[in-house]
Structure 1
């Protein structure tokens, strides 16, 4: 069947799975007040990593949540496909959460064996159970998908006091919410996170921690517990990303089988 979500998927299953990973990459995670922070949209891992080809028309939300909770619209700083995809500058010191969401109009169509393997690799056990019970494990798979990304950036020096805004949900459809400020966690410290899906804690999701400087394979993987929580040990300084995927069945009238959300949280451990 035709594949309409990324040319990389034609290269094989591993590429198809990796090409779903999507995140906001800041050129630097810490800046002085008023200093521009350049950002790109990244997709894939290892040798298949690239700038995302997503068109600007699919982005439905691009904003920053300030330390005081005020939402700042960043759309005016978008220049998708330019030298960078966006630039933002913040005057007040503190920790900001940059959020980006797309619509779900993109589609992925895969042969049965690749679709089943993709579901297994990403830990989407409810979708596997549904295909099994419906006798569709030999059927090609199709999904609509959306992307939901957050990045944590710091303006001014990192203080000893954790940034409370970082540990609050930002209202994404699928979201990774750290329960401790990643910027203040030292080497080997615990980083607890909680996964929310449509506002409710999500159990059984496979959460992956990636070192963005050496990202061919995840550093660690955890399943969220009954309260949607997972705990990682942060190896130390560097550029880090957490990602998670979840899906739900489409109505029978839909042309695709599932509605899938891909979510990420990226940050730099600078302490």
Structure 2
């Protein structure tokens, strides 16, 4: 059974269901990404995709409702986004949609949700979560105000990209261009043209500017109980990872900012980048 097929086991039992049959819910599962069945496609063919949330024992299909999707599109060399929202089938039994592209090259598939979801956590749980994800603004704000023992709340959005390679070769420039997310991992070189024995450099942007001190994690989606590698970004928002040689991968990063007079303490963005390589045959 593939991880894509396994991910389909945690399904919404009905369109109006509020609870999934397996795994925890809500912001407790921080990771969120686009999971196509194949990251490499022949031109003119399609692949089903799901939206996944959580890793390890927490992994499941996302319950993101269509009304919360502000953007779902694909960008290629010409830089003009192709709206893919009509292709979404969120909560359907088999997949959350399908991806298909006619021309060779690399495509950046982007999804952005609104920030209407909220999380309310005890002081201990929030402090542990902020430490785990490297949320320096939250830790510093709570320390400065003496709030470490006070429960905390946040509103949050999910913002993610997947790199889809169509055909052999083709233009890769779209991969290295920002697509305008509030929090975004931008490869400085396409992983689909890098030698497998080198470093994959990425840059993290927050509200359009390089973000220093963010904790970026790289996870093997076939063995996702814990990140394989993680680094904090430098003063220019950069980090480097050992280039994967095969399989499906996800990078993720979280950042937040304090709010005042908005009913919640912080506004948080969960962002990710997924990519993968063709299955090797003997």
Q: TM-score, normalised on structure 2?
A: 0.88
8 Å Cα contact 2:158/2:269 also seen in 1: yes
What SS does the aligned partner of 2:24 have? helix
Question: Once superposed, what is the RMSD of the aligned Cα atoms?
Answer: 1.9
Deviation at 1:226, TM superposition (A): 0.4
2:19 & 2:162 partners in 1: Cα distance?
Answer: 24
Q: Number of residue pairs matched? A: 259
Aligned residue number for residue 58 of structure 1: 68
1:268 aligns with one of 267, 272, 276: 276
8 Å Cα contact 2:153/2:264 also seen in 1: yes
1:138 matched to 2:157: no
Aligned residue number for residue 68 of structure 1: 78
1:45 aligns with one of 55, 58, 66: 55
2:201 & 2:76 partners in 1: Cα distance?
Answer: 22
1:224 matched to 2:233: yes
Listed as ranges, the matches of 1:4-19 within 5 Å are: 8=24, 16=28, 19=29
Deviations 1:40-83 (A, max 9, x none): 10000011100001111100000000222121000110110111
Aligned residue number for residue 170 of structure 1: 179
Aligned residue number for residue 20 of structure 1: 30
Single out whichever of 81-90 and 132-141 deviates more from structure 2.
81-90
What SS does the aligned partner of 2:140 have? helix
Deviation at 1:164, TM superposition (A): 1.3
Aligned residue number for residue 236 of structure 1: 245
Q: TM-score, normalised on structure 1?
A: 0.91
Aligned residue number for residue 197 of structure 1: 206
2:254 & 2:210 partners in 1: Cα distance?
Answer: 14
Deviation at 1:9, TM superposition (A): 5.4
1:169 & 1:84 partners in 2: Cα distance?
Answer: 27
